[in-house]
Structure 1
Amino acid sequence: MASTPPTTAIPPRTWTRADSEFFISNDPSLLSVKAVNEAFGREFLYWGKPFPEEVMHQILHGSMSFGVYRQTQPKPEDGPFSPTAESTEQIGLARMVTDGSTFGYLSDVYVLPEYQGHGLGKWLMNCVVEVFSKENMPYLRRIMLLTGDKRVQDFYSKIFGMKVIGHEQRPDIGQDLVFMCARPNAPE
């Protein structure tokens, strides 16, 4: 499938940690439709189900997607780190549905359970916050999300400054969800 350009003028970026096999990138060429569909088929992603490949491709490339990756080949000892889809395994995702200027809806955030406990989720959200900052998106009016986990609500309140603004009953998934919203560029 052909690669789709990002939905914003902000160029793709890759975040690395020294001496770590993990990295985060919003480069659409690294996204793995297969890996995300496999994750959506697992029980821990109660809200998701796998999609046909062409639909998942559109979902991932029609948004600004941040992938969490594990390197499957060692970094070169001399020269810059240049990840490719062939040299990585996608182990997490955060997808921001956005117009690239004024609005973002955070969706499909996960790190595979076998890779949790390495601080990857918090690092992933810090990367999203960096891209959706006043410096990068001075006209950003609103970031929103849905969640059912109280612990996660507290986390998003701290990292994005989000507040609960509404509720949605979801008997189909066995829980109620809350709508959360932040207005990062609102006057204080």
Structure 2
Amino acid sequence: MRWTGPDGFEADDDVARIDVDVVHGFLTTSYWAPGIPREVVAQSVAGSLNLGVFAADGAMVAFARMVTDRATFGWLADVFVLPSHRGHGLGRFVVSTLLEHPELKGVRRFMLGTADAHELYRSYGFEALPEPDRMMIIRKDPSDIYGRP
């Protein structure tokens, strides 16, 4: 499915159109997935509902994915706009389009993690966990999973 965005940009959820090299290139420099192997990125894209944002020349310039069962729960992940394309409203475009995706219409709980965009996500209705003591996590060191470079 395709959506028209600001300044002639287009969003598309066709997984075949997602440029895994662009996603991998950005994530390896992010605070949340530094050094992540390309094959792990490819697997995460294959298992998610993805939204790429594309410039008029077809280059992917922004991305977000939803880890979801498409029925009850979604985890918004890996949201980014390439630095060269910031300032066009593409961050808001990719997030709002993905949250309103028809395949997520019945989802009753969305979650995400962020270190620096709390106000942006609050504008969509995200809030701090009301009962954080109900949530638990298992953390594994990436080097234990992917090995050391």
TM-score by length of 1: 0.63
Superposition deviation, residue 52 in structure 1: 3.7
Unaligned runs of 5+ in 1: 1-12, 73-87, 173-188
* Structure 2 residue aligned with 1:91: 61
**Shift, 1:93, TM fit:** 1.0
Of 18, 23, 30, the residue aligned with 2:17 is: 30
Does 1:146 find its partner at 2:133?
A: no
**Of residues 65, 68, 81 in structure 1, which corresponds to 2:53?**
68
What are the Cα deviations for residues 65-106 of structure 1, in whole angstroms up to 9, with x where unaligned?
11111132xxxxxxxxxxxxxxx2111111110001110001
Instruction: Give the 3 Å change call, closer, same or farther, for CA 50–23 of structure 1 in structure 2.
Output: farther
Letter in structure 2 aligned against 1:94 = A
From 90, 97, 107, the equivalent of 2:77 is 107
Contact 1:38 1:50 (8 Å CA) reproduced: no
Distance verdict in 2 for CA 1:155–1:17, change over 3 Å: closer
Residue aligning to 1:76: none
- 8 A Cα contact 1:37 1:49, kept in partner: no
Number of the residue aligned with 2:41: 56
* Alignment-mate amino acid for residue 28 of structure 1: V
> Counterpart in 2 of 1:157?
122
1:39 corresponds to which of 21, 26, 39: 26
Q: Which of 14, 18, 24 is the matching residue for 2:2?
A: 14
CA-to-partner distance for each residue in 1:48-70, whole Å, 9 max, x for gaps?
23544432221111011111111
- Asked whether the equivalents of residues 6 and 88 of structure 2 are also in contact (C-alpha less than 8 Å), the reply is no
Indicate conservation of the 8 Å contact 1:26/1:65, yes or no.
yes
Higher normalized contact order (CA 8 Å, seq sep 6+, divided by chain length)? 2
Paired amino acid for 1:162: F
Normalising by the residue count of structure 2, what TM-score does the alignment of the two structures yield? 0.78
Q: How many residues align?
A: 134
Larger Rg: 1
Note closer, same or farther for the CA distance 1:18–1:64 as it changes in structure 2 (3 Å cut).
closer
Q: Displacement of 1:19 after TM fit? A: 5.9
Structure that is richer in strand per residue: 1
* CA deviation map 1:16-66 (0-9, x unaligned): 14761x211111110111111111233xx2212354443222111101111
User: What are the ranges of 5 or more consecutive residues in structure 2 without an aligned counterpart?
Assistant: 142-149
Report the equivalent of 1:137: 105
